[in-house]
Structure 1
Amino acid sequence: MVAVKGVGGYQLVCDATDAAAVAALRRRKCRPDKPFAVMVPDLAMARRLADVGPVERELLNSPACPIVLLPARPSSPLAAGVHPGTSRVGLFLPASPLHHLLARDVDRPVVCTSGNLADEPRAIDDAEARTRLAGVADGFLTHDRAIHARCDDSVVTTLGRQVLTIRRARGYAPTPMRLPVAGPVPALAVGAQLKHTFTLVAGDRAVTGPHTGDLADPRTVDAFEAACRGQSRLAGIDPQVVAHDLHPGYVSTRWAVSRWPAERRIAVQHHHAHVVACAAEHGLAGPFTGLALDGLGLGDDGTLWGGEVLVADLTGYRRVGRFGTAPLPGGEAAVRAPFRMALGYLFGAEDLGTPPPTRQLTDTFTADRPADEVRALRAMVDREVNCPRASSCGRLFDAAASILGLCHRVSYEGQAAVALEAAAGDVEEEPLPWRLVRAGDGQDALWVYDPLPTLTRLLRGRAEGEPVRRLAAGFHSAVAAAAAALVERAVADGAPPVVCLSGGCFQNLRLLSEIGGRLRGAGLEVLVGSAVPVNDGGISFGQAAVAAARLAEERERKGETPCVWASQDA
C-alpha cells in the first residue's frame, strides 16, 4: 500500500490483482464494500479488464481523465474485492506526470482510491498525509509541488452515446455553466448533505465547486469552507445571497442559517432543486414536468419525499404525483439497514386499498432473522415510534433488495440498489404487479403509486424459489412502468410534455433506460442531466438556478433595473 501525491490530494495505491492487498486496503481504510477505482497504463489494458466502446474510449482518453464505469469482463484478472456487488468497474488512465511514470513502471492495474479514511476529506498537506495515513500506507510516493485545492477524481458513466456525470470534480470542476435566467446579485448555493457541492452565481454564470463529500465529518465542513473561499476569490464572485435546502438538520442548511440573515437566505425544496438542475443544464426556463426519484429529501409539507412528480419552472412547483409512503423504523437507522425498510413496507405501508401480505408470507421472509429484532421493529411500526414516513424510491429499492436476500445492511449509500441492479443484469422480464391510486380531495388530489402489489409479488416469488435475477428484473420493470404512468397521468391532466429526470435513483442505468424509453414511447420529450450529476452532487446547481430566477422575478416585480454582473468565462 503506497500513498501517492496526486493532482488534488493523496491517493492510496495497491496491486488490483492481489486479493490480499485489496482486502488489507479495505481493512485499513475502513471501507468494507464500496468499489475501488482502478488505474491502467493504457487502453489496451483497459480493454482486457472491461468492455470499452467508442464513447467510453473517448472519455478515457479525454484531457479530464475521469473514472469511467464500465462492464467488467468475466475473465478480468482483477481481485474480486475491487468491485464487490456490482458488474461494473471504474477505470481511468493516468492523470498526471507522476501517475504516467507509476503506471509505466508497474505495468499492471492498480487500485487508486482517495487518500483518507472512510468519510474524511482526502489529505493534501504532506505532513498531514504522513500523520493521517501512517496506519494505512506502507510507503509514500511524493514530490515538492504543493496542492492548493483539494479535488477528488471525477466519475462518469454512459447510456448508449449519452454521458452521465456521477461525480463532477477533477478535470470538470470548476468549469462555469450557464443559467437560463441571470441572477441580479451574486449568490452562493450550499447544496445538500451527501455528495456535497456548492455553486457560486454571478449573472448567468454558475461556478460549481468540486465534490466535497459527506458533511457529517467536521473536517469535510472545513474543506467545504476553504474550497468556497478559494473558489470565490478565483472566480471573482462575492455572494450577497445564499440558497440552501429546506432540511434543518443538514449541515449545509445550519451553516447558511448561522452565517446569513433571514432576508438574504433562499430556501429551496430538495426535489425542486433536483429537477431544476436538469432543466437549467438544458437551458429550459419555462414550465416542465419533473420526475425526481432519490433517497430522502424534506418536502414542503414537513414529510420526507423521494418519489415525486412535479409540475415546475425555475421559481416554483406543484406536486402532482408520488410514490406511496412507508415508515422508516428507527429513522436514520433504516437507511443503513434495508431489512428495517422492508419491514416498514410490509408492516406499515400507506393504506391505498391493497391488503398487506399475509402473515405466512412475511414469516417466510423473517424466518432467518432474530425473532426479538422482528418483534421490536413491528412494535415500532405499529406504535409509530421513531418511524418517519417517506415516499421514497430509494428506500423502496432498499426494501426489495432485502426481500430478495441481496442486502440487509449497507456500508455506503446506494449499496442495496447497486446489488439489485446487478442482480437484474440484462434479463428481460414483464413488470411485477403495480397500481396507481387517486388520493386526496379536490385540488389536493394526486396520483400515487401503490408499491404493495409489487412487494407482495416479490415475497411470493422468493418464497416459491423463483430465480432472483428474474424477480429483480421484474421489480425494475414495475417501478419503471409505475413511474412513467405517474408522469403520463400528470401530462394527461395538463402537465407540460417536457420531462426532466433527476435524483440519485437515475444512476441506475436500467431504471433510467426503461423509464426514458416508456416516456419517449408515449410521445414525451425526456431530458436528463449530463454535465450536472443526477444525484445530490447536482443539488447546489439546481438551488443556484432557482435562486437566480426568484431574485430576477422579484427585481422585475418591484420594477427595479436589474444590476446583473457581467458574465465571463473563467
Structure 2
Amino acid sequence: MGTEVAGEEIEVSGIVQGVGFRPFVYRLARRLGLGGDVRNAGDRVIIRIAGPASARDAFAAALADEAPVLARVEQVTRRPAQVPDGPFRIMESAAGTVSVGVVPDVATCPACRAEIADPKARRFRYAFTNCTDCGPRFSIVTGLPYDRPATTMAGFPMCPACRAEYEDPTDRRFHAQPIACPDCGPKLWLEGDDAAGADPIERAAALLRSGQILAIKGIGGFHIACDAINADAVALLRARKQRPTKPLAVMADMATAHGLCLITPEEEAALAHPSAPILLLSLKPGAPLAPGIAPGQRHLGVMLPYTPLHHLLLAAVGRPLVMTSGNRSSEPQIFHDDEARDRLAGIVDAFLMHDRPIARRLDDSVARHLAGRLRIMRRGRGLAPMPLTLPADFADAPPVLALGGELKSALCLTHGAKALLSHHLGDLDEPATGDAFETALADYAALFAHKPAAVAVDLHPDYRATRLGEDMAATRGLPLERVQHHHAHLAAAMAEAGWRRADGSVVGIALDGLGLGEDGTAWGAEILVCDYRTSRRVARLAPIPLAGGDAASREPWRVLLAHLDRALGRSAVDGDPLLAALFAGKPLLTLRAMMDKGLNAPPASSAGRLFDAVAAVLGLAPDRLSHEGEAAMALEAAAQEDAPPYPFAFHAEAVPIEIDPAPLFKALVDDLHAGRHAPAMAAAFHAGLAEAFTGAAARVAKSEGLTAVALSGGVFQNARLLEETVRRLESFGLTPLVPGDVPANDGGLAFGQAVVAAARLMG
C-alpha cells in the first residue's frame, strides 16, 4: 500500500455521471496542484484530495461553479480523510446503483459545431460528431451503468484515434460513450432517390429545395421535413399527413429565427439551451413563411438545429424547414427504420437514414416563456429523464409508480427525494400509443431498477393507464392509490414549488378540459382547498350538459348551444336571427331532447369547453375541431388588446359555490349585435375569466386563512390567462404556485399522483 497523507474526502451528488465530471475534476485538481483521486460510486462521485487548505477550499467551490454544462451539482459534502500521496488520478468506478443518473440528449456544443465546419478536422462534415458536453444520451441507453456496451453504440467499435481520445483524461471526449468518427461510427444515406453516389446531405437539401418532403431520422425518432417557405410543399405535407390546421414546428438557425419572430433575451437563451426545445415565439408580421405553417396563429414553434446532421442539412438548404413528428395523424412518432419505411410511405418522397439504432422514442420538448419564466408544455428530448427534486419532507418517502391520465400521458417513478417524470408518451386512446406506453413502463422500471411500494392512478375507471395500474397492483400485491384528476394537477404545482407537507393546505384553481370528479361527474373548472393527502372542492364553474358526450369536445357549437340556452333561454336563442344562424342546419331538437332527458348529455364544469363555446360564438371555431385545443388557441390568438372584463355571477349560496358564465354570454351577444370586433371581445373574455376565478379564490383563501394559490391544468398554458391570473392573485397579496418544469397539462398528472400517493403512505 502506498503512502497516505492528511486531506479530505468530498462526496458530490446530483447529475454527475455521463457528463464529463471525472475529467473535469481531474483537470481542476491538476490546475490547483492537488493530489488524490476521483471515482464514480453509484449516483455519486467520490473525490479524495490532498494539498494546502486554501487550494482545497477553491477546489470545493469550483465543483459547482465550474461544473460541466450537463452536470447538476446538488450537494457537496466534505470530511477529513487520509489520501494516497502522489499526482491526482482517475480511478475505476466503484459498485453502486445509479437510480436517477441518466442524462437527457443534448444539443451539439460549440466545439463540435466548429469541428464539423473545419476542413482540417477529421470530423469535418461528420453527422454524428459529439463529446462529453453534447450528443445522444437517453435515446441510446439500453442499460445501466451508462457505458458504451449498454448503448446502441455497442455495434460500432472505436478506431485507434477515437480510442486514444476516449482514454485521455485531458481530452473533451474522455469517456464520451457515443464517441465516433467517419472511420468507425454510424453512416448516413438517402433512400428513395436515384442520384446514386451523391453526398446524402447535399442531395437531401436539393430535394427539399425542390419542394419534396423527406423523412429524417434523428436522435429520438423520425421527423417529416419540407421547405417552410414553399407554400405548395407545406400544403402537400398537410394533405398527405391529414393534418389540416394544427401548427407545424420550424427548425431554423438563430439568425433566421430572429428574422421570423420577435425574440426576447430570455427566449434566445432558452432556444440556445442544451435541451434545445421547440419554443413558442411571437411571429413577426409578414414573416417569410408559407401561410399554412401556423394558420390563424400569432405564435410559431421554433427550434434550433440540435444535431450535427441538422446543422449540416439546414446550412445546405439555406432556409427554414418544417420539422414535424414522423408519424401518421394521431399515431406515435416512429423511431424504427422498417416501420418508417412502411408507415411513412405515401407521405414522404425520400428518407435520410442512418444506422445508429434508437433505444426509445423521444418527441421534441415544447416550451413557452410565460409569467416571467420558461414553462414546459411537453417534456421530451433534451429534458427527460432529468430528475425533479421533491419537497424537503419527502426525502424518506417510499418509492411510488404513478401512471398519469389518458391524454398527453407520462409516467412517474419516485426514489427518495427524486422523481423521474417520463418523456411525453402520447394519447392512450390511440391503440399504438397504448402499446408504446406499456413498453415505456417496462423500459423505465428496468432501466432504473424501480420497485414501487405503491401504484397511483386517476379516478377514471376506463383510462387505459388506470386499468394497467389496477392490474399491476393486484398482481404484485401493492397498495393502489386513486387520485382525483385536479387534485393531482394542483399537487404537481405544489411539489414543484417546494411546498412541504408540513406547510399545510393551499387554495387551488384547476382549469382544463375534463377530469372525473369525486362525485362521478366531469370536472374542469374548479377551486379546491387541498394538501397533499386530501382535497375538497369549494367552487366550480356552473355546469352545462355536454350533448353527445365526447362529441361535444370535438364540436364547439354543441357546447355553445347549452351555454346560450342556459343564459338566454331557448326561445330567445331561436328568435335571434344572428344566433339562429350559428346553428343553421344543426339538429337542435334532438340535442335539446338529449339535454332535457340527460341522455348522453353528462353535466360538466369545463373551462376548456367554455373556451370552445366563446370561440364558436365569435366565429373563431370550425364546426368540428381538427385537433385538441384548436378553438382555444384561436381565441387566445384573437385577444390582442386590452378590454374591461366580461361579467360572471357568483352564487355563494350554492354548494359548491358556483361561478356562473350566464352574464358573460349575455354580454357577448349584446356586443355581437353592436358590432364590437372580435379581438376586444376575446380579450374581455380572458380578463373576465381571470377576474372571476381569482376573486373566488381570494374569498376562499380569506375564509380558510390560506396564503398560497396553486394554478394548474392545460388551460393555464394560455399566456394571457395565466399572466392575468398571476397578476390579480398577487394584487390580493396571495402567492401563486405555477408549474414550470412540470407541464401544467396532463403531462404533469403522474408527478402530482406520485406525490399524493407518497404523502398518503407517509401518513
Residue matched to 1:27: 239
Q: In the alignment, does 2:283 pair up with 1:72?
A: yes
Decide which of 253, 270, 273 is 2:485's aligned counterpart.
270
Q: In the alignment, does 2:763 pair up with 1:548?
A: no
Equivalent AA in structure 2 for residue 379 of structure 1: A
Q: State how far apart, in whole Å, the 2-side matches of 1:94 and 1:124 are.
A: 19
Q: State how far apart, in whole Å, the 1-side matches of 2:320 and 2:659 are.
A: 45
Partner SS for 1:358: helix
Contact 2:691 2:728 in 1 (8 A): yes
**What is the count of residue pairs matched by the alignment?**
543
Contact 2:222 2:334 in 1 (8 A): yes
Contact 1:361 1:459 in 2 (8 A): no
What is the deviation of 1:239?
2.3
| 1:124-523 to 2 correspondences below 5 Å | 124-159=335-370, 161-180=372-391, 181-182=394-395, 184-261=397-474, 264-285=479-500, 286=503, 287-348=505-566, 358-359=572-573, 363-407=577-621, 408-425=623-640, 427-440=641-654, 445-523=655-733
Q: State how far apart, in whole Å, the 2-side matches of 1:114 and 1:174 are.
A: 20
What is the deviation of 1:460?
2.1
Q: State how far apart, in whole Å, the 2-side matches of 1:404 and 1:249 are.
A: 35
Equivalent AA in structure 2 for residue 330 of structure 1: G
The change in CA–CA distance for 1:264 and 1:160 in structure 2 (over 3 A counts) is closer
What is the deviation of 1:363?
4.7
Q: State how far apart, in whole Å, the 2-side matches of 1:105 and 1:219 are.
A: 35
What is the deviation of 1:301?
0.6
What is the deviation of 1:263?
5.3
Decide which of 286, 294, 304 is 1:83's aligned counterpart.
294
Q: State how far apart, in whole Å, the 1-side matches of 2:577 and 2:545 are.
A: 19
What is the deviation of 1:410?
0.9
Deviations 1:453-472 (A, max 9, x none): 10121122113321111111
Greater CA drift, 174-183 or 241-250: 174-183
The change in CA–CA distance for 1:172 and 1:94 in structure 2 (over 3 A counts) is same
Q: State how far apart, in whole Å, the 2-side matches of 1:371 and 1:32 are.
A: 24
Deviations 1:277-299 (A, max 9, x none): 00000110231111101110000
Equivalent AA in structure 1 for residue 338 of structure 2: A
Q: State how far apart, in whole Å, the 2-side matches of 1:494 and 1:260 are.
A: 37
The change in CA–CA distance for 1:48 and 1:216 in structure 2 (over 3 A counts) is same
The change in CA–CA distance for 1:361 and 1:404 in structure 2 (over 3 A counts) is farther
Contact 1:356 1:452 in 2 (8 A): no
Contact 1:182 1:552 in 2 (8 A): no
Q: State how far apart, in whole Å, the 1-side matches of 2:411 and 2:396 are.
A: 16
Q: State how far apart, in whole Å, the 1-side matches of 2:606 and 2:380 are.
A: 28
Q: State how far apart, in whole Å, the 1-side matches of 2:544 and 2:571 are.
A: 14
Q: State how far apart, in whole Å, the 1-side matches of 2:587 and 2:706 are.
A: 47
What is the deviation of 1:362?
5.2
Q: State how far apart, in whole Å, the 2-side matches of 1:190 and 1:362 are.
A: 48
Q: In the alignment, does 2:322 pair up with 1:111?
A: yes
Q: State how far apart, in whole Å, the 2-side matches of 1:396 and 1:371 are.
A: 22
Higher RCO, 1 vs 2 (CA within 8 Å, ≥6 residues apart): 1
Partner SS for 2:359: coil
Contact 1:328 1:340 in 2 (8 A): yes
The change in CA–CA distance for 1:143 and 1:29 in structure 2 (over 3 A counts) is same
Q: State how far apart, in whole Å, the 1-side matches of 2:357 and 2:387 are.
A: 25
Residue matched to 1:561: none
Equivalent AA in structure 1 for residue 565 of structure 2: F
Greater CA drift, 238-247 or 524-533: 238-247
The change in CA–CA distance for 1:361 and 1:160 in structure 2 (over 3 A counts) is farther
Contact 2:511 2:714 in 1 (8 A): yes
TM-score under structure 2 normalisation?
Answer: 0.69
Equivalent AA in structure 1 for residue 597 of structure 2: R
User: Which of these two proteins has the greater Rg computed from alpha carbons?
Assistant: 2
Residue matched to 1:2: 214
Contact 2:371 2:723 in 1 (8 A): no
Residue matched to 1:564: none
Equivalent AA in structure 1 for residue 726 of structure 2: G
Q: State how far apart, in whole Å, the 1-side matches of 2:558 and 2:548 are.
A: 8
Residue matched to 2:274: 63
What is the deviation of 1:119?
1.3
What is the deviation of 1:438?
1.3
Deviations 1:521-569 (A, max 9, x none): 111111201100101110010001111111111xxxxxxxxxxxxxxxx
Equivalent AA in structure 1 for residue 660 of structure 2: D
Equivalent AA in structure 2 for residue 94 of structure 1: P
Q: State how far apart, in whole Å, the 1-side matches of 2:403 and 2:545 are.
A: 29
Residue matched to 1:39: 251
Partner SS for 2:306: coil
Equivalent AA in structure 2 for residue 269 of structure 1: Q
Residue segments in structure 1 that go unaligned for 5+ positions in a row: 554-570
Partner SS for 1:399: helix
Residue matched to 1:48: 259
Q: State how far apart, in whole Å, the 1-side matches of 2:644 and 2:418 are.
A: 45
Deviations 1:76-121 (A, max 9, x none): 1111111113110000001112111111111211000100011111
Q: State how far apart, in whole Å, the 1-side matches of 2:692 and 2:348 are.
A: 48
Contact 1:199 1:207 in 2 (8 A): yes
Q: State how far apart, in whole Å, the 2-side matches of 1:467 and 1:389 are.
A: 32
Greater CA drift, 117-126 or 177-186: 177-186
The change in CA–CA distance for 1:492 and 1:469 in structure 2 (over 3 A counts) is same
Equivalent AA in structure 1 for residue 698 of structure 2: E
Equivalent AA in structure 2 for residue 518 of structure 1: R
